[in-house]
Amino acid sequence: MKRAVLREEIIDRIAGMEVRGGRGKITWVLVVLVVAGVVIFVSAALGSAARQAWQVYLVNFLFWSGMAQMGLVFCAILSLTKSRWGWPIKRLAEATAAFLPISFVLFLVLIMGRGELFHWIHEPVHGREAWLNAPFLFTRDGIALALFYGCGLAFLYYSWRIDLGLVAERTGRRPAGELAAFIMRGWRGIDEEMTRAEKTRRVLAPILALLYACVLSLIAFDLVMSLSPHWYSSLFGAYYFISTLDMGFAALIILSLIGSRFFGLDEYITPGCFHDLGKLLLAFTMLWAYFFYSQYLIIWYGNLPEEARYVILRTQMEPWKPLAFIVLAACFVIPFLVLLSRKIKNHGPSMIILCLVVLVGMWLERYILVVPSITNHASFGVVEVGVTAGFFGLASLSWLFFMRHMPAVSLFDPGFPGRRESLEGQAKTRGDKGAVR
């Protein structure tokens, strides 16, 4: 009985959670960042700094979209492995998926900058014209992203639907907001909805994991590797999606720390949860370094001119050499040494600082992958800062919008305390299907 009461108390508490004070101020600050970023980008893209504007746009598109893509596949991995430890942070990972529709629109905007980014549009590469042509590239990438994002949102839809239905039945109130109303349309009762949701998610989870690897490899080949059309690496796709996972775990740790404070989740997101996330970050940090070294070693010892030039340019020549060492330190050396400490993995402020270092390093890593193929100099001026701030504002607004319309944790999760028993008990108490009108 005590356990049942605890379950109901958790559901009641989560159903009424809202963002704490200052949310209006935060929203307006983010809106200002977005507007400033748009103005700076448009001014540069239509002026003499068009190439500079589009290259930093591509860097930020890859960086911020990667976080949303990682949050999506992380939820699929939790479903595949039936993990219970991650239920308090699962909703925070799902919240990053709110950026996916924006990501797709930003990809379509990228088409307008193709002439500034891809040299082979003006100077076709002999023998590769069939693959390296703009209409085919953006068509296949657009279809791949639409398929990946569509399956991902369908996968998450059932989690959101069950949670909103459970809260509605528990509180007797209709979900507030157009998003919640759309998700809840045609509700058939908790029992029928749960059965359908579990079957659908069981099918979609492995598909999402495969799509993540395939689609991100394609994006790596088309939007990054094709910038240097004479260089190619069969390992680059795997390197890219592993680095995205590494970056995503750093972002998820920061979101978890923010969520535990602003959404009152500190009772559920325990130090043990942060410790598990820290171990995952350490594991993927080492895996990123492994793929980086494997690719570097093969290219270096192969000593083929078209391959060695790509590495030498980024690691031995100015102005890229200092940036390469910063990336190595921020993405591997520092997190590897720091995350060996158990105490640090359980200490929130230290983890925020470390994860910010990793994210800055990963942004610079995307910068080094993209920019040296387009221009001969590095720039970190108003255009770079403004466009990055605009992307940050968009991603943060999408995350806040989602978290204000959904229960703060996932109730439809194997790790939720007594989920099945709680739902069955409510069904017996109601004596019907419990349809939400």
Q: Does residue 18 or residue 175 have the better pLDDT?
A: 175
Say yes or no: 309 and 395 in one domain.
no
Does some domain include residue 174?
yes
Q: What is the pLDDT of residue 11?
A: 60
Whether residue 181 is predicted with pLDDT greater than 60 in this model: the reply is yes
Concatenated DSSP letters of 210-239: HHHHHHHHHHIIIIIGGGSTT---TTHHHH
Whether residues 235 and 311 fall in one domain = yes
SS3 content of the chain, % helix, strand, coil (to 5): 75, 0, 25
Give the model confidence (pLDDT) of 186-203 as tens digits. 777 777 777 887 888 889
Give the DSSP letter string of 156-189: HHHHHHHHHHHHHHHH--PPPSHHHHHHTTT---
Tell me the average pLDDT across 14-42: 77
Cα 248-205-80 angle, rounded to 5 deg = 80
Sign of the CA dihedral running 150, 156, 162, 168: negative
Whether 333 is in a domain gets the answer yes
> In this structure, are 215 and 172 located in the same domain?
yes
Residue range 254-278, pLDDT digits in tens: 998 887 777 777 777 877 788 888 9
Q: Is pLDDT of 215 > 80? A: yes
Q: What angle do CA 263, 267, 271 make, to 5 degrees?
A: 105
Side chain identity, residue 247: M
DSSP 278-346: HHHHHHHHHHHHHHHHHHHHHHHHH--HHHHHHHHHHHTSTTHHHHHHHHHIIIIIHHHHHTT-HHHHT
For residue 193, is it within any domain?
A: yes
257 and 301 in a single domain? The answer is yes
Q: Give dist(CA 373, CA 225) in Å, integer.
A: 9
Q: How confident is the model at residue 417 (pLDDT cuts 50, 70, 90)?
A: low
pLDDT tops 80 at residue 303? no
Q: Is residue 33 part of a domain?
A: no
**Which of 328, 357, 378 is the endpoint of a domain?**
378
Q: Is the pLDDT of residue 304 over 90?
A: no
The b-or-e profile of 289-313 (16+ CB within 10 A means b, else e) is bebbeebeeebeeeeeeebeebeeb
Tokens 């509180």 sit at which residue?
Answer: 171
Q: Is residue 115 part of a domain?
A: no
327 and 191 together in one domain: no
Mean pLDDT over residues 309-316, rounded?
Answer: 85
Residue with the bigger pLDDT between 356 and 411: it is 356
Enter the pTM of the model. 0.88
Total domains present in the chain? 2
- Residue 27 pLDDT exceeds 80: yes
Residues 346 and 252 in one domain: yes
Cα gap 18→403, rounded to integer Å: 8
| N- to C-terminal Cα separation, the chain | 30
CB 59 within 8 A of CB 365: no
Q: 331 and 239, same structural domain?
A: yes
| Sole residue written with tokens 């379509």 | 108
The answer to whether residues 241 and 372 belong to one domain is: yes
Q: Indicate if the pLDDT at residue 159 is higher than 60.
A: yes
Percent of the chain with pLDDT over 90: 44
pLDDT tens string 61-112: 999 999 999 999 999 998 888 888 888 888 889 888 889 999 999 999 999 9
My answer on whether 366 and 255 are in the same domain is yes
234 shares its domain with 193: no
Give the residue, 172 or 214, on which the prediction is more confident.
214
Range of the domain at 314: 228-378
Query: What pLDDT was estimated at residue 106?
Result: 96
Residue 155 lies in a domain: yes
Query: Does residue 192 share a domain with residue 250?
Result: no
pLDDT score, position 176: 59
Question: Does any domain span residue 26?
Answer: no
Quick one: 368 and 401 in the same domain? no
pLDDT at 387: 96
The mean of the pLDDT values for the chain is 83
Q: pLDDT by residue (tens digit) across 318-350? A: 889 999 999 999 999 999 999 998 888 888 888
Domain annotation covers residue 260? yes
Q: Is the pLDDT reported for residue 120 higher than 50?
A: yes
Element (H, E) at 42: helix 23-45
The pLDDT-based confidence of 435 (bands split at 50, 70, 90) is: very low
